[in-house]
Structure 1
Amino acid sequence: MKYTAVRAKELIFEIPFGVNENLRIFWINLSQDSRAEFSASIKEVKEDHAIVPLIIREAGFFSANAVLSDVNRILDINRKEFDFLQNSKIKKVTLLLLAKDDFRLPQISSPIILPDWLFILGPRETSFRIADLAHSAESDLLNCPESRVADISSLLYELEREIIFRLQKVEDSFSSKFVAQLVGISIEKIDSSFYIGEFLKNINDVDDSRAYRPSAAEKINSVSSKIIRLCIRSSPKELALHARILAEGMMDESMTKIKPTIFSVMLRPTEKLNSATRNWHAILTSVYQAYQVMNGAAHAGEYEPYPVNLIYSSSVDLRRFLSEARIYIEDLV
């Protein structure tokens, strides 16, 4: 994941030190950025805690058995980088290793004898831990910049609009099948033109797509709201049946397969689905996923913190699918 120096600094200062811990090392991948500029921006002393960025210019950190020697070597090479701490009252140091690739090792702890010149940390004999910053930094669930909730809202809005446009294009006998399944009314009693009009009115009333947040309330006549309620009340097997009928109602006979989100894969039914049904199953579950992401962001204080890279990766996966799903529906013949 990509960091700004400001965001990385925020995350580092939020990560608590362990009991009796005064030295820790975090790794960050800056393959596309200027490491010198990043280093200058993130170097900081805050109360008794200092962030010391060190640029990795040599091969290393490939083996757990060699980590201690790798750390000693990079300290020796970068001794001058600690000069700005000489007159400070530092008790804790975070070394931030600026690399051009990912950290290949698990989190490691090791004893170390610090060099004489690193007197700022007191006793020479101490220990350190080294880990990828993205795995160590935690934030409130889905309530951080990495979640990109506003972008998810906008992409969901665009997907919903495309579904409505498609409903307006297909024959009434098919759109009625789609709407009846979505709303939960028999096809003999459904007035599909009324609901399509309500769906369109609801989406047109949205002033800012980046603030769009569907509700699971039954009285809300929006495509996303109806999908959410469909997901809430359906078993995996029932959801697969809904997906097949919705695909038929969209006159979707496409052989194209959209890569589902990992969340959708976890909810996949046991029976084999054709391409169109598989895609609509992924659309249903991803709309529900987006809804839960928005709920999590709105009530972040109710959840435990999670690693920012997990939040970020989940967001990337969901945003990728919502974008591809909109294009898929737009391209239906």
Structure 2
Amino acid sequence: MRAPDFWSEPGALARVLAPFGAAVDLAGGLRRALARPVACGLPVVCVGNLVAGGAGKTPVARALARRLAANGTPVRFLTRGYGGRAAGPLRVDPARHGALEVGDEALLLAADAPTWLARDRAAGARAIARDAPGDGPGQGPGVIVMDDGFQNPSIEKDLALLVIDGAYGLGNEKVMPAGPLRETLARGLARADAVVILGEDRKDIARRMGVGLPILEADLVPSPDAPDLAGRKVLAFAGIGRPEKFFATLENAGVELAETRSFPDHHPYRPAEIEALVERARALGALPVTTEKDRVRLPADLAKHVEVLPVEVAWRDPKALDRLLARLPSHG
């Protein structure tokens, strides 16, 4: 799904749809008020957002997991598996599962740490607590990092982070279908422990977050093992929530964007589409480049013709992140 243009700025259509958005927000609030969250016995870090689409939750979840692991804390991911058919709970096996079954995000997470997929998040958390063997003598499963699920009330969360795209902000600040928000800003901030602003804060988000709520600033940058594309002419394409974020990362890396193509989030690429993109890149004298998330959805025999630029989150103040993670209960 691509976000409608009117979600970006206030307008007449958003005002017409605002009552429907108010109803959606009220229903979500009632659902959370009536819910009885379960404690799974492990600390849970939830990485979510307020805006439908790609704020950068998965890169932030991966970065948090790396930070925890570097500090000696075993991590297990829990994800819903958007774009896949499987309902779970199941442990994701990249050697056995494909994007059509478990979704692209689950495969990315599983490359970093043991990952469970479950549409029923509480059942998934219980499966992790029951089945995760630990990473060594005397170690338990450690911490669950939940990719998305901020609005899901079924699990008790020990630390809840809201990720906001600094360039896009909150759009027109209306709740769906009038705008991109899953709930109002006030409702979301009331349950958040911190806000992560990804990229330059062009919408002055930090100033509006209120006193006392930690603000973590970070950037998406090419991973250390990424190919050096500086000065290269590329045809960039992406089927993620906000492809513009990927294109901006390429430009910041010194890439010459000959052409860009955007596809819907979780788009299942057909061979003919990739063949056409490769041929177009050849005609432009450019290199076809996409994201890690898109790579797992490419037809296997055509993926070799496409370069991938892996990205990661770079924290502007890593010590601020460590102070936040220190709030977690014992996770040994």
Shorter-chain TM-score bucket reads under 0.3
Larger helix share, 1 or 2: 1
> Normalised by the size of structure 2, how large is the TM-score?
0.25
> Normalised by the size of structure 1, how large is the TM-score?
0.24
Larger radius of gyration: 1
Larger strand share, 1 or 2: 2
